[in-house]
Homo-oligomer: A and B are copies of this chain.
Amino acid sequence: MTNTTWTRRHILSLADFTGVEYDTVLQTAASFREVLSRRVKKVPTLQGQVVCNLFFESSTRTRSSFELAAKRLSADTLNFTPSTSSLTKGETILDTAKTYLAMGADIMVIRHREAGVPQAVATEMNRLGVRVGVLNAGDGQHEHPSQALLDLFTICSLLDPKNPRLELLAGKKVAIVGDILHSRVARSNIWSITATGAELHLAGPPTLLPKLFADYGTGRAGKLFLHWEIEPALADADLVMTLRLQKERMSQHLLPSLREYHQRYGITRSLLKLCKPDVKVLHPGPVNRGVEISSDLMDDSQFSLISQQVTSGVAVRMALLYLMGSGKT
């Protein structure tokens, strides 16, 4: 596998991703999915390279997904987690990153509670003139690009498994429902879905979907719509993404109760009748069963793509690590 066109060293945000870049990720992920269907699910692509997972905020699925992606590319992995951190000793995040750089990190996968941390590390790496790549694995409420790319790959693969590509979504109606305001997953998905030419409908309570989100649609290929009721968002939708609801939103008085939230914005079998008959539902996980989605619907493989999203995650992250690493000579 060779790639001569990829020029992006860091993957921090999808705001300025080009159509060619999306399609390159989708096609590369498709070729890695083929690798994952073999008995020996491993390629020597990144042998001898070091992928550092710097997860300042803890995570199960995302860290494991990146770790597995790296191992299947034969990279060596180093995991940094807060509990064994010298952050307790007062070291700055940039100093931590520079330490891993000096040890020989080729790619740093960074998650942090605060927006902008991966960008700040990438800026510092550029300033130092080093070839390390930084991948944003979730920064505060800002972005989570690999999640949106795996969502995109999951959807496009549904439409054309052999040749997933951006244009497949043109003219489709996609709904994202829930706590848009606090969701980095939603923000990255807004960028990717509106890049496809699909119609994107956001739905959520006014406290979790302020009007300013309409600005995200400016100058994008696809149109963006906001709804404070769920029904118009779901009407004739081809795809519905529901978001995890952080339970602390209650104590912040942004929501009356989980029960009322579920009644108004939870995805249920009966609500799906508003959608196209072959509608599919996505959720970034982990799911609060019975809150953002009814428990039986989550497990119904006729509608739910949740398991495919996790599987796509490994292939897409292999693709991203591969593309970031492929520029090295």
* Residues of chain A from 27 to 62 with CB closer than 8 A to chain B in the complex: 36, 38-42, 47-50, 55, 58-61
**In the assembled complex, how far is the CB of residue A87 from the closest CB belonging to chain B, in whole angstroms?**
8
Q: Specify the chain B residue showing the minimal Cβ separation from A298.
A: B95
Known: A40-B47, A68-B50, A78-B64. A311 touches B85 (CB 8 A): no
| Cα of A49 to Cα of B39 in the assembled complex, Å | 8
**In the assembled complex, how far is the CB of residue A139 from the closest CB belonging to chain B, in whole angstroms?**
18
Please determine whether A92 and B314 come into contact, CB atoms closer than 8 angstroms.
no
Please determine whether B83 and A76 come into contact, CB atoms closer than 8 angstroms.
no
| Cα of A36 to Cα of B40 in the assembled complex, Å | 23
A262 within 8 A of B: no
A109 within 8 A of B: no
| Cα of A84 to Cα of B79 in the assembled complex, Å | 11
Please determine whether A71 and B76 come into contact, CB atoms closer than 8 angstroms.
yes
B residues in contact with A309, CB < 8 Å: 102
A65 within 8 A of B: yes
Please determine whether B95 and A286 come into contact, CB atoms closer than 8 angstroms.
yes
**In the assembled complex, how far is the CB of residue A300 from the closest CB belonging to chain B, in whole angstroms?**
13
Please determine whether B310 and A103 come into contact, CB atoms closer than 8 angstroms.
yes
Please determine whether B68 and A78 come into contact, CB atoms closer than 8 angstroms.
yes
B residues in contact with A99, CB < 8 Å: 60-61, 285-286, 310
A287 within 8 A of B: yes
Taking A72-B76, A99-B310 as given, write out 11 further A-B residue pairs in contact, using a Cβ cutoff of 8 Å, ordered by the A residue number.
A36-B104, A38-B48, A41-B50, A58-B84, A59-B86, A60-B96, A61-B86, A68-B104, A86-B285, A91-B286, A103-B314
